[in-house]
Structure 1
Amino acid sequence: MAPVSTSPELANDAVITPEKKNNLRLVIVASSVGTLIEWYDLLLAVIMANILSMQLFPAGGNNFIETLGIVATTYLIRPFGSLLFGNFGDKIGRKYTFLVSLLLMGGATFLIGCIPTFEQAGWVSPILFLILRLLQGLAISGEYSGAVIYVAEHAPQNKRGFYTGFIQTTSSIALILGLVVVFSTKSIMSEESFNSFGWRIPFLFSAILVVASYFIRRRLHESPVFAQLKSEGKTSNSPVRETFKTKKNIGLILGAIFGGNAAQSAIMQTNQFITLFFLQRTVKLPDTTALLIMATGILLAGPFFQIFGALSDKIGRKKVILPGMILGLIVIPVMFYLFLELGNPQRLDTIQHIDTQTTIIFIGLVFMLTLSGTMVYGPMGAFLMEMFPTRIRYTSMGFVYNVGNGAIGGSTPVITELIKSSVVIGFALSPFIGLVYPLALIIIGIVVNIFFVPETYKNDLSD
């Protein structure tokens, strides 16, 4: 197969000479920081769904669900974005593709901070919000897969899980960063000022982070595995068509989506957002208390992404991912039951203040569910990319991740809210009915992982 023609600038990266090899530490830092910023940009609108529902939609109506609906479009468009960016990543290269995704994400996030309110522009406001969220969805669909593949193609085979674990932990760090920025912004101004203009600051702040990350990433060169493939003229002319050409690859795609990826997203979406909304809207805790519980529990579990990624290098990906899904299946119903029973047992519709002991218990519960997420997500990046050959790795992995983690698992917040608002059930169970969706995805993930998904940790990436 003839090599894909490229510009002289890109062709220069095709052969990695000694002076153009990347320093592994720089690869990890540049990839991780860029991915962290993109997750911060993507998750910020979910963290601020309450205020956005008041600012960008008309008064009255179920604006919170409408806001989550627009947020969900970001996840629904990601499979299409993965084919677009995957096509470029498998033809042109990993480095340039996730440089473009970084700038696209940063620009869209900055512009969300500039959207006029509904009072100022009417329905133009939610329409602009929708357009910018779709652009964010396209951006993240190209970012994550490229970053994981880029790091893994530089890493030694026996440390791929450990090194890609740095990419995996960025979503949780980004959530904490978002919570800290929002909390800090709220703390330095009155509630009236925050509702008037302060809510824009966390979005505008993203521009500084994106510019810094862009200049760091520009110092990188192409990954050695892809550069070797390119120099030999073995890159794919049609990565999308080749991805869906064989029954074997389609089987791997379906197994990867339903054998862990969708379940992993359901666990983390439940941990990060369903928990936050539940504490704020059902348990009725003050925002500061809910944010403190979330940030502390997630922060304490942060190092375990690397720990479980490294463990999967030694014993295999499935032996870590499967117990993580089982733990999530147990923790989720117990956690939400205790939240309500300890935090608001009488189900009052007024703000509830909890004592220090209860706060510590809640932090422990969040820690346990986050731990489950680290067991599944820590090895997941290496697990997914090891399934597919180099020539179509970006496209295949990107599609798997953005269908499972994006469209299916990423819709968890809006689907749980829709179930809660539309399913009529007894008073005792009504606050929990939405959890059937993430629990169902986890059960499916356990069954498919056991019977249909191969082990991958000894796979050769150059094959």
Structure 2
Amino acid sequence: MNTTPTTSNKQLFTVIVAAAAGTLIEWYDLFLAIILAPVLSENLFPKSETKFLETLAVVLSSYLIRPLGSLIFGAIGDKTGRKKSFLVSLLLMGGATFLVGCIPGYAAVGWLAPIMLLVFRLAQGLAISGEYTGATIYVAEHAPPNKRGYYTGFIQSTAPLGLFVCLCTVFATRALMSTPDFAAYGWRIPFLFSAVLVVVSYIARKQLGESPVYAQLKAAGKTTQAPISEAFQTPGNGALMLRAIFGGCAAQATLMQTSQFVTLFFLQRSAMLSPNTAILVLAAAILLAGPSFQFFGGLSDKLGRKKLMLSGLILSAILVPIVFYLFLKIGNPAELKEVHEISTTATIQLIGLALLINVATAMVYGPIGAFMLELFPTRIRYTSMGFAYNIGNGVIGGSTAFITELLKKTLIVGAMFAPLVGLIYPLALVIIAIIVNATSVPETYKNSLTD
């Protein structure tokens, strides 16, 4: 067995800061169109009753294309190095996000507007598929074996922090202008602002060296020249990818989407709260829950990845239906059909409820980056992890916001359950994950990254 190369604490700190900052910005870019889906539907789509659902479908495209992107960037990462892959992905993401802010309205260019949004969302999906996997592997391959969960936990925390920065940017932009001005042109500002963040992050990442584990593999002449075919043809590797997808990854993604975007849309469209109130509730909950993602990543170094993930899945299955029921009872007890304001006490209660499901989600998401990369051998780690992660996190779990809205519009149930019917999808994925995780997912936290 090879020994894992060591990295000084100073080098490791630089690696984590540069990798995490870039990943945070990429999550910010990816989430922005989801947060602003209501205003995008007003500006870039024709007037219709289904325009919000159509907008979500286009936004969803960035998740559906991620498996393809994972193969492209995975091949780059396994053949030529981790660093090159996530530099290219950062620039692709930044360019696409900036251009979303430049799209002319539907009134000016007709169907070209939603088509341009689709093209740029596809580019973003390709980019994030390489970014997250590359950053997580890059940090883990620098980290001590007994602290991989702890250090990759900083990468895990970039998703909720990216959303928090996104929410704050949108909230601040809304606060600085009138509602008509924001709807007319102000929504473009958060997209354009991301270009500054991307340039700063690229300069920081450019100074980094290659991962020591990958450098050791390359020096030994053991890198693969056919990572895609090897990932699918290596005996047992396909089964590992399926276990990763259905034993945690798809459920983790659906919980992230449920605790964040489904919560935001539910508070706005079912509880009928104002956009600012809904954003405030979610932003506060994410800020308070932020440290728990890194905490649970670190705890998994001591207790194991599987035990924490399984506990988080079971807790989430219990909490999600209860929390969303209480969202309605506290946020709209009179069952009003128009947008309304609520008391400070009710707002604090909603923040507490949102915090509960975000912490339960963190129990699954915090350890999952280390869990995923520890499953696969170094020479095909980027491709294997990237493909499994982006099938589960992108296609299956990433469809949650769209499918929950679709279920609410198509399934006919009693008035009491109508707002909650969309939760069938995330709960089904969580239950599947509990069964698969408990019966067939291996423990990984003691695996060597150089085997």
CA 1:363 to 1:240, structure 2 compared with 1: closer, same or farther past 3 Å?
same
How many angstroms apart in 2 are the aligned matches of 1:215 and 1:404?
31
Match of residue 360 from structure 1? 348
**TM-score of the superposition, structure 1-length normalised?**
0.95
Give the 3 Å change call, closer, same or farther, for CA 185–248 of structure 1 in structure 2: same
Q: Deviations over 1:342-390 (max 9, x none)?
A: 2213322112222122111111111110101111010110000000000
Does the 8 Å contact 2:330/2:350 carry over to 1? no
TM superposition shift of 1:443 = 0.2
- What's the counterpart of residue 48 of structure 1? 36
Whole-angstrom distance in 2 between the partners of 1:18 and 1:350: 57
Which residue of 2 is the match for residue 27 of structure 1? 15
Q: Which residue, 307, 315, 337 being the options, matches 1:327?
A: 315
Contact map agreement 1:41 1:105 (CA 8 A) in 2: yes
Task: Classify the secondary structure of the residue corresponding to 2:210.
Answer: coil
2:337 is the alignment partner of 1:349: yes
Structure 2 residues without counterparts, runs of 5 or longer: none
Paired residue for 2:287? 299
1:134 aligned onto 2:146: no
> Which stretches in structure 1 are left out of the alignment for 5+ residues?
1-15
- C-alpha distance after superposition, 1:114-156 (max 9, x if no partner): 0000001000000000000000000000000000000000000
Task: Quote the Cα distance in structure 2 between the aligned partners of 1:18 and 1:147.
Answer: 16
Match of 2:197 among 209, 217, 228: 209
The alignment partner of 1:426 has SS state of coil
Distance change (3 Å), C-alpha of 1:18 and 1:79? closer
- 1:440 corresponds, among 423, 428, 435, to 428
**Who is 2:181 aligned against?**
193
What secondary structure sits across from 1:295 in the alignment?
Answer: helix
CA distance in structure 2 between the aligned counterparts of 1:22 and 1:224, rounded to whole angstroms: 15
The CA deviation at 1:60 is: 2.2
Counterpart for residue 91 of structure 2: 103
Q: State the SS of the aligned residue for 1:23.
A: helix
Aligned residue for 1:3?
none
User: Which residue of structure 1 aligns with residue 236 of structure 2?
Assistant: 248
- 1:18–1:98: structure 2 CA closer, same or farther, 3 Å change rule? closer
The answer to whether 1:453 aligns with 2:436 is no
Q: Which aligned pairs between 1:385-396 and structure 2 lie closer than 5 A?
A: 385-396=373-384
What displacement does 1:307 show?
1.2
For 2:331 and 2:70, how far apart are their aligned partners in 1? 41
Structure-1 separation of matches of 2:40 and 2:388: 30
Structure 1, residues 305-350: CA drift from partner, whole Å, max 9, x if none? 1211111001100111111111111111001101111221332211
Q: 1:82–1:142: 8 Å Cα contact kept in structure 2?
A: yes
Secondary structure of 2:252's counterpart equals helix
1:379 is paired with a residue of what secondary structure? Answer: helix
How many Å apart are 1:22 and its aligned residue? 7.8
Matched, 1:376 2:370: no
In the TM superposition, residue 289 of structure 1 has moved relative to its aligned partner by 1.0
Closer/same/farther in 2, CA of residues 18 and 142 from structure 1, 3 Å limit: closer
* 1:172-191 equivalence runs, <5 A: 172-191=160-179
2:141–2:211 CA contact under 8 A, matched in 1: yes
Paired residue secondary structure (1:358): helix
Higher mean Cα deviation, 350-359 or 406-415? Answer: 350-359
Give the drift of 1:18. Answer: 9.8
Residue identity matched to 2:400: T
8 Å Cα contact 2:6-2:144 kept in structure 1: no
Is contact 1:317-1:457 (8 Å) kept?
Answer: yes
Query: Distance between the aligned counterparts of 1:373 and 1:333, measured in 2?
Result: 14
Match in the other structure for 2:392:
404
Residue 86, structure 1, aligned to residue 86, structure 2: no
Between the aligned partners of 1:18 and 1:190, the Cα distance in structure 2 is 51
Letter in 2 for 1:225: V
State the distance in 1 between where 2:320 and 2:6 align: 50
Q: Residue 178 of structure 1 aligns to which amino acid in structure 2?
A: C
Task: Decide whether the 8 Å contact of 2:7 with 2:143 is kept in 1.
Answer: no
Q: Distance in 1 between matches of 2:336 and 2:303?
A: 48
The letter for the 2-side match of 1:144 is Y
Task: Say whether residues 1:66 and 2:77 are aligned partners.
Answer: no
Look up the equivalent residue of 2:148 and give its one-letter code.
Answer: R
Looking at structure 2, the residues matched to 293 and 423 of structure 1 have their Cα atoms a distance apart, in angstroms, of: 28
CA–CA distance in structure 2, aligned partners of residues 260 and 251 of structure 1: 14
Is 1:22–1:221's contact at 8 Å kept on the other side of the alignment?
A: no
Query: Is the CA contact 1:343–1:352 (under 8 Å) kept in the aligned structure 2?
Result: no
Specify the code of the residue in structure 1 equivalent to 2:442. Answer: P
Instruction: Give the total of aligned pairs.
Output: 447
Alignment partners' CA distance in 2, 1:289 and 1:112: 26
* Residue 406 (structure 1) shift: 0.7
**Separation in structure 2 between the aligned mates of residue 306 and residue 195 of structure 1, nearest angstrom:** 36
**Residue 150 of structure 1 pairs with residue 147 of structure 2:** no
Q: Which residue identity is paired with 1:128?
A: M
Q: Distance in 1 between matches of 2:440 and 2:409?
A: 35
Give the distance between the partners of 2:369 and 2:336, measured in 1 at CA.
43
Moved more, 433-442 or 184-193: 184-193
Deviations 1:203-262 (A, max 9, x none): 000000000000000000000000010111100110000111034111100000000010
Does the CA-based 8 Å contact 2:273-2:340 persist in structure 1? yes
Deviation at 1:61, TM superposition (A): 3.1
More displaced, 125-134 or 191-200? 191-200
Change (3 A) 1:71 1:303: same
- Identity across the alignment (%): 60
Q: Deviations over 1:76-111 (max 9, x none)?
A: 000011001000100000001100000000000000
2:252 and 2:397 in contact (8 A); partners too: yes
Distance 1:236 1:184 in 2: 48
